[in-house]
Amino acid sequence: MCPSGPVTQCPNALEMESNLNGPAMTTWRGDAGLTDLLNRRDVPKYDLRVEVLGTLDEVSSAVGVARAMSTDQTARGLLLEIQRDLCYMMSEIAGHPPNGSREHIDAERAAWLETQLAALQNQAPWAKGFIVPGDSPVGAYLQLARAITRRAERQVARLANEETLENHLILAYLNRLAYVLYALARVEEQHAGIVQPTMARQEK
């Protein structure tokens, strides 16, 4: 879901077109393997930009599961704000703001994530070595969201290299977001009473 604003600015509404008040919620044009971006019509669903949008939607969905399961109100608020940032990000990628418009994903949002990361690291130090996700349900979903975020980051880097990425701070945001999700997973595990996470290398 998108924050307040016209629903047509949200990539989740790509196939809904402008007929939101009528009985039909889709034109079924997707049956032909086509979709629309905010500034382009009849885009193949395998288009790289559409792939990026789908992956960012996956990130938001995984974050949403973690938010629904978390009992920590601070964590839930943080995750909701991240989901709203992701929706703005999808809007920018689906059809970047017209000339003169302010991009939502900016240096201030990247700095905000850095602040969140520092606070989380103070609550739960990072493990020394690779860990195996799964010590707590919320932590596992946050690690899943982190892994999907890294996939989105790779796809956005490819988009910047092969096509056009108007706002390169999107890459900076995704890089920081992956660290934040990892750190939040560690905090959630501590709240669940897990002091030492399961390490990938088994102690002999």
Domain ranges, residue 74 = 7-191
CATH number, residue 52: 1.20.1200.10
Dihedral sign, Cα of residue 165, residue 170, residue 174, residue 175: positive
| DSSP string over 73-95 | HHHHHHHHHHHHHHHHHHHHHHS
Specify if 1 maps to a domain.
Answer: no
CA distance 37 to 51: 12
Question: Which region, left, alpha or beta, applies to residue 17 given φ > 0 means left and ψ of -120 to 50 means alpha?
Answer: left
Q: Say which range, 2-16, 28-42, 74-88, 155-169, has the weakest mean pLDDT.
A: 2-16
Specify if 202 maps to a domain.
Answer: no
With cut-offs at 50, 70 and 90, classify the pLDDT of residue 36.
low
pLDDT per residue as tens digits for the range 119-129: 999 998 877 88
pTM: 0.81
pLDDT at 107 over 90: yes
Backbone φ and ψ for 37, nearest 5 degrees, come out as -100, 175
Specify if 82 maps to a domain.
Answer: yes
pLDDT per residue as tens digits for the range 108-162: 999 999 999 999 999 988 778 888 998 899 999 999 999 999 999 999 999 999 9
Q: Are 57 and 94 in contact (CB under 8 A)?
A: no
Specify if 200 maps to a domain.
Answer: no
Specify if 197 maps to a domain.
Answer: no
**Is 41 or 168 the better-scoring residue by pLDDT?**
168
CA distance 38 to 8: 8
CA distance 153 to 180: 14
Task: Write down the residue that tokens 């989901």 correspond to.
Answer: 83
